[in-house]
Amino acid sequence: MYVKILKYDVFSGTKQQLIGNLEKYNKVNIVSGNPEVLYTALENKILYNSFKNNNAIIIPDGIGTVIASKIVKQPIKEKIAGIEVMEEIIKKSCIDGKSIYLLGSTEDVVMKCKENLLKKYPGLRISGLHDGYFDLNNCDDVLNDIRYNNPYVIFVAMGCPRQETFIAKYMDKLPCRIYMGVGGSFDVIAGNVKRAPSWMVNLGLEWLYRVTKEPWRIKRLKSIPKFLIKVVKDERK
Query: How does DSSP assign 177-231, residue by residue?
Result: SEEEE-TTHHHHHHTSSPPPPHHHHHTT-HHHHHHHH-GGGGGGGGHHHHHHHHH
pLDDT digit string, tens, across residues 20-49: 999 899 999 999 999 999 999 999 999 999
Mean pLDDT on 86-112 = 97
pLDDT at position 184 over 70: yes
Residues 6-28, mean pLDDT to the nearest whole number: 94
The pLDDT tens digits of the residues spanning 45-66 come to: 999 999 999 999 999 998 899 9
pTM for this predicted structure:
0.93
Q: What is the pLDDT of residue 57?
A: 98
Question: Is the pLDDT at 15 greater than 90, yes or no?
Answer: yes
Cα–Cα distance, 133 to 47 (Å, whole number):
20
Percent residues over pLDDT 70 in the chain: 89
Nearest to 183 by CA among 90, 91, 109: 109
| Residue 203 pLDDT | 57
Percent of the chain past pLDDT 90, that is, above it, reads 80
Confidence of residue 197 (pLDDT cuts 50, 70, 90): confident
Average pLDDT, stretch 205-227? 67
Least confident range of 90-94, 130-134, 169-173, 204-208: 204-208
Q: Where are the domains of the chain?
A: 2-236
Q: In this predicted model, which residue has the larger pLDDT, 76 or 195?
A: 76
Three-state SS across 86-118? HHHHHHHHHHHCCEEEEEECCHHHHHHHHHHHH
Of residues 209 and 156, the one with the higher pLDDT is 156
Neighbour-count burial of 15, counting CB atoms closer than 10 A to its CB (0-12 exposed, 13-18 middle, 19+ buried) = middle
Which of the residue ranges 4-18, 68-82, 219-233 would you say has the lowest mean pLDDT?
A: 219-233
Higher local confidence (pLDDT), 71 or 214: 71
- Radius of gyration (C-alpha) of the chain in whole angstroms: 17
Q: How long is the chain?
A: 237
